[in-house]
Amino acid sequence: MTSTSMIDRALKSNVIGLALIVTLVACPLATALETVPEPRVDGLAEPVRSAINDARVAVEELEDGAQADLAAAYGVLGMIYHAHELMDAAASAYRNAEELAPYDARWSYLLGITAAEAGDMGTAERYFRESLTDNPGYIPTRIRLARVLLANGRLDAAEALFDYVLRDAPNNAACLDGKAQVLMERQQYAEAAELLRKALEIQPEADRLNYTLGQAYRALGENEKAQEHLSVIGTRDPLFMDPVFSQMRSYSRSAEQFMSVGHEAARNGDYPSAVRYFSRAIEIDPESAMARVSLMRALEAVGEIDLAEKQLDYVIEQGKENSLIHFNKGVMHEYRSEDDQARVRYRQALAMQPDLVEARILLANSLMRNGQAAEAVDHYGQLRAQSPDRLDYSFRYAMAQALAGRCVEAVEVMHEMVSKVPDDLETLNSYNRVVASCPAATATHKQNALNASRNLYSLSTAAYITETLAMAEAAAGNTDAAVEYQSQAIFSALSAGQQAQLPAMRALLERFRQGQTAQLPFDPESSAMKPPRLTPEQRR
């Protein structure tokens, strides 16, 4: 027996008797059925169109058959429409199913859900109550009815339903949340907080509860606790077992369709919708590594980093890791500043896919942060060889060379860059710095850098320009000028509120006072020498 038919049997077991009575008493020979609308489906994937078509054909074939069979066929048609979010057609098919099999609690239950999703709470309540009459033991009906009543402000009735469930299932997080919402409406904050805490203990992933709990603490004057919970912007509600709903979802035939609309939503920046669609795709095809990676990216975009990583872990546990899985796992480590583990993953990704540029960049950046400049030179060098027009790769390559003690090579790379973009003052300024911090640079480069630094200074006295001139003067042996310009640079930085740069600038001033030159083109802690870690915001 399949799980679906077991569910069917369980749901129907306590209504068979009633069904027989209804059939014997009413015995409807002709029933008023509505024509189920045919929504536009040309944009849907082929498996969905086929499933819809097959279900419609099944209905047509059973039109002259047994009423119970026709009801089931309409029910399946409704569930297929419902699973693909074609709600008007779904509701229409369910209504026919209910008309034909009024004793089957599933159809009124699903009609209640479609009405609630359309915001028609009056109709939803009517259907849920009908469903409860037919099958009083089905807990999800009580929960959904209670939520409808809560939305309509009928707090006592909603509370009674939540209490009914909690008597037998005191750890039902959805009901604890529902009851807490009732108590919040009644401004019974202490009691609400207690229930919400319990619900969060039972289902910590239901992070949406944090806001309500934060508000309860706020009302109780416990501001520290309130802040703690209000800082969690959660999106996930508590879950509850709902076999009928799951049965409906199981009719979805379109992982591809969900993937397609999910990618479109993601391209449009609508990541919450993308999360929803990719999640549906995974429900249909849980083993799809592509769906997991897509969901991971969408979750990451909405700030759900931990949940995003769980998608990767799932694929890894299944032994289906690929270069993208390793790369993204590395990114997750990087978010948490776990650079060593991140590098392991980036290397694994590159071993499987050497042209994975993003992995190489992040690996090289991580190596720079870790002081492994020589290895970084190799990776930046490969990137530069692949994309010679990318100035950012050349710049990073030069910085890695400088940090690795190969400043002469760095000077040549920067000189080449300046030749390519002679009007780019940022590049020119960087070239000046690389030369000024390279005692082995040729005299020509040194003179060029000094002249260029003086010219730039005549255009701008910003701190970083002035500091470059100080470095060039120091490299030319003009100690007094170097000290004077560096002092000016410090003053400019102070005036501009660039406090963070002052310690390094003062250290450099001290070197100049002692007649020394700069050791590196930029402050060793600067982003030029230590590329910052990737953040979720940047990746978004």
What residue ranges bind another protein (CB under 8 A)?
A: 37, 39-44, 84-86, 88, 117-122, 148, 150-153, 155, 181, 184-187, 208-212, 215, 218-219, 227, 230, 233-235, 261, 264, 267-273
In terms of Cβ atoms closer than 10 Å to its own Cβ (0-12, 13-18, 19+), residue 35 is exposed
Minimum distance from CB of 185 to another protein (Å)? 5
Give the Cα separation of 324 and 301 in Å (integer): 17
Minimum distance from CB of 405 to another protein (Å)? 42
Residue 148 or 331 having the CB closest to another protein: 148
Minimum distance from CB of 389 to another protein (Å)? 24
Residue 150 or 435 having the CB closest to another protein: 150
Write the secondary structure of 503-526 as one string of H (helix), E (strand) and C (coil). Answer: HHHHHHHHHHHCCCCCCCCCCCCC
Give the Cα separation of 31 and 184 in Å (integer): 46
Residue 49 or 347 having the CB closest to another protein: 49
Residue 46 or 60 having the CB closest to another protein: 46
Amino acid at site 340: D
Residue 212 or 366 having the CB closest to another protein: 212
- Of the candidates 476, 372, 373, 462, the one whose C-alpha atom is nearest the C-alpha of residue 425 is 462
In terms of Cβ atoms closer than 10 Å to its own Cβ (0-12, 13-18, 19+), residue 495 is exposed
Neighbours of 149 (CB within 10 A): 24
Residue 117 or 484 having the CB closest to another protein: 117
Residue 177 near residue 196 (C-beta atoms within 8 A): yes
Give the Cα separation of 313 and 325 in Å (integer): 9
Q: Which long-range contacts (CB under 8 A, 24 or more apart) does 183-188 make?
A: 184/212, 184/215, 184/216, 185/150, 185/153, 185/155, 186/155, 187/219
Tokens 């999106």 -> residue: 235
Phi-psi region of 478 (alpha: psi -120 to 50; beta: other; left: phi over 0): beta
Residue 227 or 386 having the CB closest to another protein: 227
Return the structure tokens found at 435: 């030369």
Minimum distance from CB of 149 to another protein (Å)? 9
Residue 272 or 524 having the CB closest to another protein: 272
